[in-house]
Amino acid sequence: MPRKGENIYKRRDGRWEARYPKGTTPAGWTRYGSCYGTTYAEAKSKAERARAALLAGLPQNRAVSDQRKLKFFCGEWLDTVKENVKASTYARYSAALENHIVPRLGDCSPLSVSTQTVDRFKRELLSERGLAPKTVKDILLILRAVLKYTARQLPGSLPAIDFTYPKEFRREMRVLTLEEQWRLTSYLTQDMDRSRFGVLLALLTGLRIGELCALRWGDISLHNGTLRVTATVQRLPSRDGDSKTELAIGDPKSEASARTIPLSNLAARLCWQIGPGRPVDYVLTGTEHCMEPRTLQYRMNKFAAACGLEGVHFHTLRHTFATRCVEAGFEIKSLSEILGHANTSITMDRYVHSSMELKRRNMEKLSAMGL
């Protein structure tokens, strides 16, 4: 008996036969083709490839003859991009393939992957795995790149696939109020150590946590009152296989992220207070060994808890800095360059949060006009 809904049978000779429609007779009857395998899965896979080849107008023996699974092409694609992307990007690609794409689609024939397959995969990631829409979109973009690569290896074989991405709902980022910022600043300046200094410096410059951990005294010029962002620190999967992860010091997040930031008078005074070290020393440790970002994040959580601040993490400091700059009347182009954004739209869309105080002041401008 065939499995429910599938035209696949086990023959008397022990082989499995999978039948698929391949056309109609002049009388209007359906003509079927057959694929055979020693297992149910093999026969089904061959039939799926034959159907896909039929839809693509290809000779069916060409589709059936290629036994390579999608996971084979996932590995090949990952190897081809390895030398052209940053280590952090490669780690993200590898994780998406290893954790999501290969476990669910890796054993499929590329010829059997359809729009319905991708939509079903998307729903599984959203509902069963509970992943955020942004994460699911990133995974689908990687899958699309793999399928494009596969299509170049099997020209004319793969069916066209329509990718639809889940709608992203951007959550409002936490920004410290002026009172909360004053409370945190007061706490950090008491018995200030290097970790407290680092949190303050991020609040006064908008530095990312990885950029701050990679900052050396040679990047700070107190004579010119500037700070240069030249590197970032991340914990990434190990490439040598000796350990699961390793600290990696690399180039900044993007070309625009390599930047020079003018220091405010307060930031410069704090640098003098903590005591500049040798150019090769990291600012947060005072040695030639950098601080790990998650260590600084852990200490930041303790500082926030001591100040009674809830829902605050390190990136909150960056959003707070951007908001204070807008409230002070910063020109957006300058703020975008200080934050290391490629264009001002990123700054406006993601990092500029108008406080209620600023909204109220703007509304008062209408009152001054008698409106």
pLDDT digits (tens, 9 = 90+) for 355-367: 566 666 667 766 6
Report the candidate in 25, 24, 50 with the shortest Cα–Cα distance to residue 36: 50
Domain boundaries, the chain: 8-65, 70-153, 178-364
| Architecture of the domain made up of 178-364 | Orthogonal Bundle (1.10)
pLDDT of residue 136: 94
If you average pLDDT over residues 215-229, what whole number do you get?
94
pLDDT band at 183 (very low <50, low <70, confident <90, very high): very high
CA distance 17 to 31: 15
267 contacts 106 by C-beta, under 8 angstroms? no
- How far does Cα 193 stand from its chain's mean position? 33
For the chain, the helix, strand and coil percentages under 3-state DSSP, each to the nearest 5: 50, 10, 35
Residue range 137-175, pLDDT digits in tens: 999 999 999 999 998 888 777 778 899 998 877 677 888
Q: What are phi and psi of 204, to 5 degrees?
A: -100, -5
Higher pLDDT pick, 4 / 121: 121
Q: How many CB atoms lie within 10 A of CB 345?
A: 11
Facing residues of 248 across strands?
234
Topology, domain 70-153: DNA polymerase; domain 1 (1.10.150)
* Mean predicted confidence (pLDDT) in 283-299: 94
Could you give the 3-state DSSP secondary structure of residue 4?
A: coil
Q: What pLDDT band is residue 197 in, cutting at 50, 70 and 90?
A: very high
Does the pTM surpass 0.75? The reply is no
Cα 230–Cα 233–Cα 234 angle in degrees, nearest 5: 140
Q: What does the DSSP assignment read for 195-264? A: HHHHHHHHHHH---HHHHHT-BGGGEETTTTEEEE--EEEEEE-SSSSSSEEEEEES-SSTTTSEEEEPP
